Amino acid sequence: MPILQVKNIQKSFGAVNVLKGIDFSLEQGKVLSIIGSSGSGKTTLLRCLTSLETADTGCVEIDGKVVFDSESTVKLTRQEKRENQLKMGLVFQSFNLFPQYNVLDNVMLAQQLAAKDRLDYKAKKQEILAEIEEHSRQIIDSVGLSDKLQNYPCELSGGQQQRVAIARALALNPKILCFDEPTSALDPELTHEVLAVIKELATRNMTMIIVTHEMTFAKEVSDQVIFMDDGVICEQGTPEQVFDSPQNQRLQEFLGSFQK
């Protein structure tokens, strides 16, 4: 059974119909790349999946559990909402690190706040906080930034900031990690360090959805590729199918624009 099942997601902003019915599914441990020209609705789709936007229709199931259903009238508790929220991680194009915290605190903050809701928090506070710190240090180490623990975001390069953002999302153990053009705000020479971290995650079987314009990278890292155009999925398949023998004319044009 797929870990993620997305059915008939539609979203309009006022009169603008941005998503016109999106369906797809993703298997555990696989990497899905979403490609498509700007304005085709990729960001909006990720935002609907991560609850930053509420879709008008459709439903999302993660691990067999419904996390969003436009038909449902059940009111979720705060705890349930948070659990659903944390199943999905999101890495933003613009990093969105918290500027007043150093690298370690950026990664620890959400975990520390969540820990306060634990029933044993008062009794085992020191232990819990030490665990969080140890876990965070390991994850920062895994993105190669253990020498920057005490640095503030303004002291880091864009590539380093994005790696912190990835660590911050990973630290909450999401079932699926989404990336919205993670390298689009970076200088070309810095993109490879971020892509290397994502590839490394892929080898460790992290389930990921990556919106990207890095076609070579997408072809290399993905198990599945979706091409979106004007709010619909025009074509989807393996990287070989999508990149080497595209059927859809819009997709052919889109890929052609990268060959120049």
Partner 1 sequence: MELTNGMVMGASLSDTLANMWNAIANSSFFEVTLRLFEGLFTTVELFVLTLLFSLPLGLIICFGSRCKFTPLRYVVKTIVWIVRGSPLMLQILVVYYGPGLLFGWDLLPRFTAALVTFVINYACYFSEIYRGGIQSIPRGQYEAGQVLGMTKWQVFSKVVLLQLIKRIVPPMGNEFITLVKDTALVRVISVYEIIWMGESFIKKGMMWPLFYTAVFYLVFNGLLTLALGYFEKKLDYFKS
Ligand X SMILES: Nc1ncnc2c1ncn2[C@@H]1O[C@H](COP(=O)(O)OP(=O)(O)O)[C@@H](O)[C@H]1O
Q: How many chain residues bind ligand X (CB under 6 A)?
A: 11
- Rounded to a whole number of angstroms, the distance between the first and last alpha carbons of the chain is 40
Q: What track of x and - describes contact with ligand X for positions 40 through 79 (by CB under 6 A)?
A: xxxxx-----------------------------------
In this structure, what token pair is assigned to residue 235?
Answer: 């074509």
Does 207 engage in binding with ligand X (CB under 6 A)?
no
Distance between CA atoms of 121 and 253, rounded to whole angstroms? 56
Distance between CA atoms of 121 and 126, rounded to whole angstroms? 9
Look at residue 135 and give its three-state secondary structure: helix
Does 212 engage in binding with ligand X (CB under 6 A)?
no
Distance between CA atoms of 69 and 84, rounded to whole angstroms? 12
Does 152 engage in binding with partner 1 (CB under 8 A)?
yes
Site for partner 1 in 64-83 (CB under 8 A): 78, 82
Q: What are phi and psi of 127, to 5 degrees?
A: -60, -45
Does 38 engage in binding with ligand X (CB under 6 A)?
yes
How many Cβ atoms are within 10 Å of 118's Cβ, its own excluded? 12
Q: How many chain residues bind partner 1 (CB under 8 A)?
A: 27
Distance between CA atoms of 146 and 181, rounded to whole angstroms? 25
Name which position in 153, 159, 182, 246 contacts partner 1 (CB under 8 A). Answer: 153
Pairing of strands 57-62, 224-229: unpaired
Does 183 engage in binding with Mg ion (CB under 5 A)?
no
Name which position in 27, 28, 39, 200 contacts ligand X (CB under 6 A). Answer: 39
In this structure, what token pair is assigned to residue 237?
Answer: 């398949």
Distance of CA 106 to the CA centre of its chain: 17
Q: What track of x and - describes contact with partner 1 for positions 8 through 47 (by CB under 8 A)?
A: ----------------------------------------
Name which position in 12, 56, 98, 230 contacts partner 1 (CB under 8 A). Answer: 98
Site for Mg ion in 14-53 (CB under 5 A): 43
- Please report how the helices 158-170 and 188-203 are oriented relative to each other, as an axis angle in degrees rounded to 10: 20
Residues binding partner 1 (CB under 8 A):
50-52, 78, 82, 85-86, 88-90, 92, 94, 96-100, 109-110, 113-114, 152-154, 168-169, 172
Residues binding ligand X (CB under 6 A):
13, 16, 18, 36, 38-44
